[in-house]
Amino acid sequence: MKHGEDDTAQRGRLAGVVKEEKGQPVEGVTVALKGTSFGTTTGPDGSYRLSAPAGSYQLVVSSLGYTSQELTVTVTAGETTTLPEFALAQSNQQLSEVTVTGNRSLNERPTSISKLPVASLDLPQSAVTVERQVLEQQQVLRLSDALANVSGLYVTSTTGGTQEELGSRGFAYGSNNTFKNGVRFNNGVMPEASSLERMEVLKGSAAILYGNVAAGGVLNLVTKKPQFERGGSVGLRVGSFGFWKPMVDVYGAVGKSEKVAFRLNGTYEQGNSYRDEVKSDRVYVNPSLLFELSPKTTLVLEGDYLRDNRTPDFGIGAIDYVIQESRSRFLNVPGASNATNQTSTTATLTSRLNDTWQIRGVAGFQRYDNELRTATRPVPPVTSPSSATYGDLTRSLQRTETNENYFLAQLDLTGKFRTGFLEHTVLIGADADQYLTNTLAYSGPTSATNSRVNVTAYDAINILNRSKVVAQPKERIGSFDALVRNLSTQSNTRRAGFYVQDLLSLSEKVKVLAGLRWSYQETPSDLYYHNTAANRAGTNKFGPLAGQLVNNRRYDDAFSPRLGVVYQPIKTTALFASYSSSFTPQSNTAVDLEGKPLPPSIIDQYEVGIKNDLFKGALSANVTAYRIVNSNQIQSVLPTDPRFQTAQTTSPQELAGEVTSKGVEVDIQSKPMYGLSFIAGYSYNHTAYTNSNIFENGSRLRYNPAHTANLSLFYNFGSTFGENGFLRGLTAGITTYYVGDKLAGRNPRTVNPADGKPWPTGTDANKFISIPNYLQFDASLGYTYDRFSVRVKMANLLNELSYNMHDDNSVNPIAPRNFSATLGYRL
């Protein structure tokens, strides 16, 4: 076992006391295991207690004004070893600050999201880990702030300003691809970043491990864990636009227990915005407990509560697919709100059965509640559509209520053993999860003049001149409370999977990873139409009359294979090639010409790359190239197709389309060297239709930037000027992130899907919007003295203006130049 690995199943403890020469206890002394991430500080009585995996270490004891000491120690699993008393001698020189950090490179770190206890260097797949130290240095507030550390990971859109939708390699992540501590996380709300221990990104297909996930990759957010050493911090972050955020993080043993430890993270956040009338407030609490049930078995219980209330914000508006440049224009109505509550619990039991096998079980529950009251996208008035050219648009109201219960059970068995000359690292697992989702949508009330029509309009405005008097609709909705129940959707998605994979070491230089997963999925959905005008008239676009219940049932299964080869000519370099597949189930209404449900689309992914640890592991440099092909994408059978005339359904579809994504990614990370550390990356992606009966072949899909680039530099002056009283606590950093050649709007069509005939040139209403390229440049400074710290950050120093967009109806500008400062105190 390598020092520094998170192996809580074989932990032991070290305990002792640190005093000065005259016998008085010394508080705040750093006690750390050299070359690992395990460390603590002494309490007021000079005592310390340090938990770490079993093994031999070099213990370092150091503090300002004293001469450091080292001692060889042995940690014994399940036991507490009391060490001799340390007597620190005063030094005539001030010592450099001791920073306890992990000692593993990007390619040496195993990732929990990969489920295999092996270094990334041994995997035929690109993986990136961003540690807590980097997140704190960059003062990451949202996940979008952390994108500057991972090539090819980007924001696709921020629909309504209430969430950050991420993607990579041409595919959106969504809730299926976003995990917290290995459990799916509903990304309809922005996750809290202050509680993160690290962020893991496993690029490419992960279907063999998690079933129904998109082909681009998966993201795992790992929260801070309990520790037996007492400690923590309190802080306050303030910033531009009235932002303020108090934070607390405390941990330690429960009482004087050597078997139970706790951790509690909590924040409150409130702020206005550079956007007119936009506000937010949120509360986050993350408690956790660690039980050492035996020297080989641990149980971690984690809770997570987030309440997030904010103003829904669909941005500044567009007219005929042209952005109406602004940073502050707000188009929503008074009283608009988006209220979300998300609660989750996770239990993780890990037990090392023997020297060969380990078992890990996870049980999780998540509750998600959301109530949205907002205006819809402003549209041209029905009576005068040409007036939209001058900015005259009509606003309507929408209201939805969603609650979702999510359950997960997962069991993984991992083992390392030999058969003859072959060395195996085996994963055998099974998982099952269930979504119980209820969504209630509202619509406008019945028109007073026509009982077959619903009133939808709220008012009319001019988005270019809000003071302009605009003719109002004849009938209007007065408030959100005037909306009436329209459609209830009750979904009960059930999934299960069984998987096995083996990393075979054929020799010291050649490894083969082979595996297979079988997934099963049920997606029943009940639609209940309420008593609105369209339903009473029988004209609801869904078909049923008022009060009618529609049952949709769908059953799918798929196999997801994986095969990869790793060649390591030297221990610090690996070349790899791999093939894997993933699948995308169709909607409940997707049926073929005979009215039968269509099977899932199978997506093939090919990946090659090279991983390097250079300069004795001080620098990791990885390059990956990939090609992802969905050769059986769903598309409609057009009315001009002869088969359409004999179809047994009005909307037949088939698996005949094709989308291809290809690209290159470069990731570079360094360890701290002479106080300097850096992260850099570049990605190129081209995702396009390569076979379509509606869109032009070769036309790119929206939301995926062709180019991203990132560079982050961080320098600790104390590593060079350690004896200088002022500079020893000073740090500085810069972060840059570039996004280029990104499209939004809607893909222009070559054929009218309504009649299957070609569009006359220039008559298709769909258009692309080219999003302005931008380079975001951030700078930060930090200073630490004793237990106090202050960090300041200036974001978007160049004041770049660009947008995150969904279609053309959520045009959200990025934040302008802004300032933040964080004051902290280490407990």
- Residue with more model confidence, 6 or 409: 409
Distance separating alpha carbons of residues 313 and 337, to the nearest angstrom: 9
* pLDDT at 93 > cutoff 90: no
Could you give all domains of the chain from N- to C-terminal order, each with its CATH number? 8-88 (2.60.40.1120), 112-223 (2.170.130.10), 231-826 (2.40.170.20)
User: Are 291 and 259 spatial neighbours (Cβ–Cβ below 8 Å)?
Assistant: yes
The per-residue pLDDT for 610 is 97
Residue 697 has pLDDT above 50, yes or no: yes
Mean pLDDT, rounded, for 406-416: 96
**To the nearest whole percent, how much of the chain has pLDDT over 70?**
92
Percent of residues in the chain assigned helix, strand, coil, to nearest 5: 5, 55, 40
pLDDT digits (tens, 9 = 90+) for 760-790: 877 888 999 999 999 999 999 999 988 899 9
Query: Nearest Cα to 393, choosing from 319, 330, 478?
Result: 319
Q: How far apart are CA 441 and CA 443, in angstroms?
A: 7
Give the pLDDT mean for 725-750: 90
φ, ψ at 283 (rounded to 5°): -125, 135
Does the pLDDT value for residue 79 go beyond 90? no
**Tokens representing residue 651 in the block:** 């909307």
Mean pLDDT of 247-254: 95
The CA-to-CA distance between both ends of the chain, in Å, stands at 31
- Residue 297 has what pLDDT? 93
Q: Is the pLDDT of residue 96 over 50?
A: no
Alpha-carbon distance 791 to 730, whole Å?
A: 10
Cβ–Cβ under 8 Å, residues 7 and 52: no
**What pLDDT is attached to residue 69?**
86
Summary mean pLDDT of the chain? 88
Specify the pLDDT at position 101. Answer: 37
* Residues contacting residue 345 through CB under 8 Å, at least 6 positions apart: 301, 302, 303, 304, 364, 365
Q: CA 629, CA 605: separation in Å to the nearest integer? A: 6
CA 89 to chain centre: 48
Q: Counting Cβ atoms within 10 Å, is residue 705 exposed (0-12), middle (13-18) or buried (19+)?
A: buried
* Confidence class for position 43, pLDDT limits 50, 70, 90: confident
Spatial separation of the C-alpha atoms in residues 794 and 138, rounded to whole Å:
11
Look at residue 310 and tell me whether its pLDDT is greater than 70.
yes
State how far Cα 564 lies from the chain centre. 26
> Which 3 state secondary structure label does DSSP give 210?
helix
Q: Model confidence over 487-500: pLDDT tens digits?
A: 888 888 999 999 99
pLDDT tens digits, one per residue of 140-172: 999 999 988 999 999 999 888 888 899 999 999
**Strands, E assignment, 553-638:** 555-570, 573-584, 601-614, 619-636
Dihedral angle over CA of 77, 79, 84, 89, nearest 10? 60
What pLDDT score does 391 carry? 83
pLDDT tens digits, 316-329: 988 888 998 889 99
Nearest to 637 by CA among 648, 652, 649, 647: 652
Burial string for 332-352 (b: 16+ CB within 10 Å, else e) reads bbeebebebbbebbbebbbbb
Cα–Cα distance, 636 to 654 (Å, whole number): 6
When pLDDT is cut at 50, 70 and 90, the band that residue 516 belongs to is very high
Q: What is the pLDDT of residues 521-574, one digit of tens each?
A: 998 777 776 655 555 444 444 444 445 455 577 889 999 999 999 999 999 999
347-388: pLDDT as tens digits: 999 998 988 899 999 999 999 999 999 998 888 776 666 666
